[in-house]
Amino acid sequence: MTKRKNLAVMAVLALALSACGGTTKSSTEGQNTAAPTNTSAKADPNAPLKEGLKIAYLPKQLNNPYTDVEVGGGKVAVGELKGEYKLVGPNDASASSQVSYINTLIQQQQNVIVVAANDPNAVCPSLNQARKAGIKVVTFDSDAAKTCRDAFINQATTQGIGESLVKMASELAGGSGEIAILSATPNATNQNSWIEVMKTELAKPENAKLKLVKIAYGNDDDQKSFTEAQGLLQSYPNLKVIVSPTTVGIAAASRYVSASNYKGKVAITGLGLPNQMRKFVKDGTVKKFALWNPADIGYLAAYAGASLSSGQITGAEGEKFKAGKLGEYTVGADGEIVLGPPTEFTAANIDKFNF
């Protein structure tokens, strides 16, 4: 057969197949979103917390200062629970790189996997395999699809964070002017949902004078964030505020501004770690930024995982459990457990925090 004939045959084949219809997106809608079938399990609030639980943390990627603090809190909690702590994870935050780690954790028969999903769906099949093997799955930071985990530790409500980011930006801009966002990766679930809330907030009449000119992505990479911040300031000479809802991005942007002649003219705010931001707050580059205590997220996740594994809770709405020094928590809708409202850091209070 000649090349042309070959191609023609393939094209005809494809057309013929499409003509007889088949499985399409709309024909399968709703099929894949079936609720998990763990309704048979019953919560026993009085069940004792098991000791010796193997609790493994799988963050988005290793060697990220923010992540280190989070899992550090987890390690403390696992110690209190007299369990076995383990930390594994990929070096790159790509969608599929976490899957083989989950598979390994299944093989090692962990009791709890605490995971921050790089892609809400790519990890799903393997997380469900883990749950079939009796492992409890708790997500933190970046949720996986609801059907493939038992509980989600949310650092604060998405709404609350988005609102406070816009509020800080508006205060720093004096109520009007151009603002830009410096985010992490374009796929980061948490970043994107905050940005969505920010857009809704910015559309409100009281924020009509604030103009979002650009969303840049620093990929949670220090150098990339640094150059993106530089690019923003060069492309938008009237820019008043850069909002960076990621600890890597806000630190890189602050570093750039503090050493440039934009210092004092352009404000930086967003979500950052007090230890990383302290010098920029002290030198006046950054007036205010916010964050929850990341160590508490890892801490809460360990207690949620242990409570699930001990049968105290099943992840159903309304169930209550005790999380050590953090006190009592209630499971919200869709297995969501909210840590609490974010804290605003300023020159006045930053020295009270050490993480």
What is the rounded distance in angstroms from the CA atom of residue 353 to the CA atom of residue 342? 13
Distance from the Cα of residue 75 to its chain's centroid? 19
Closest among 266, 339, 251 to 297, alpha carbons compared: 339
Check if the beta carbon of residue 296 is closer than 8 Å to that of residue 326: yes
Residue with smaller CB distance to another protein, 100 or 330: 100
Instruction: Give the nearest distance from C-beta 183 to another protein in angstroms.
Output: 10
Check if the beta carbon of residue 215 is closer than 8 Å to that of residue 242: no
Instruction: Give the nearest distance from C-beta 238 to another protein in angstroms.
Output: 27
Check if the beta carbon of residue 190 is closer than 8 Å to that of residue 210: no
Instruction: Give the nearest distance from C-beta 260 to another protein in angstroms.
Output: 29
Site residues (vs another protein, CB under 8 A): 10-11, 13-14, 17-18, 21-26, 28-29, 31-32, 62, 86, 88-91, 94-96, 99-101, 103-104, 106-109, 119-122, 124-125, 145, 186-187, 217
DSSP conformation class of 49 = P
Residue with smaller CB distance to another protein, 98 or 207: 98
Residue with smaller CB distance to another protein, 29 or 328: 29
Instruction: Give the nearest distance from C-beta 71 to another protein in angstroms.
Output: 14
Instruction: Give the nearest distance from C-beta 44 to another protein in angstroms.
Output: 30
Copy the structure tokens of residue 285: 């580059």
What is the rounded distance in angstroms from the CA atom of residue 246 to the CA atom of residue 264? 21
Copy the structure tokens of residue 326: 């953090």
DSSP conformation class of 333 = G
Instruction: Give the nearest distance from C-beta 116 to another protein in angstroms.
Output: 16
Residue with smaller CB distance to another protein, 114 or 266: 114
What is the rounded distance in angstroms from the CA atom of residue 138 to the CA atom of residue 116? 9
Instruction: Give the nearest distance from C-beta 282 to another protein in angstroms.
Output: 35
What is the rounded distance in angstroms from the CA atom of residue 174 to the CA atom of residue 161? 20
Check if the beta carbon of residue 95 is closer than 8 Å to that of residue 119: yes
Could you tell me how many helices (H) and strands (E) the chain has, helices first?
11, 14
Instruction: Give the nearest distance from C-beta 2 to another protein in angstroms.
Output: 11
Residue with smaller CB distance to another protein, 225 or 310: 225
Residue with smaller CB distance to another protein, 62 or 76: 62
Strand partners, 58: 115
Residue with smaller CB distance to another protein, 87 or 326: 87
Strand partners, 86: 56
Instruction: Give the nearest distance from C-beta 24 to another protein in angstroms.
Output: 5
Residue with smaller CB distance to another protein, 119 or 319: 119
What is the rounded distance in angstroms from the CA atom of residue 285 to the CA atom of residue 262? 9
Check if the beta carbon of residue 298 is closer than 8 Å to that of residue 71: yes
Place of tokens 């390690």: 75
Residue with smaller CB distance to another protein, 26 or 39: 26
Q: How far is CA 266 from CA 169, 232, 292, in A?
A: 11, 11, 25
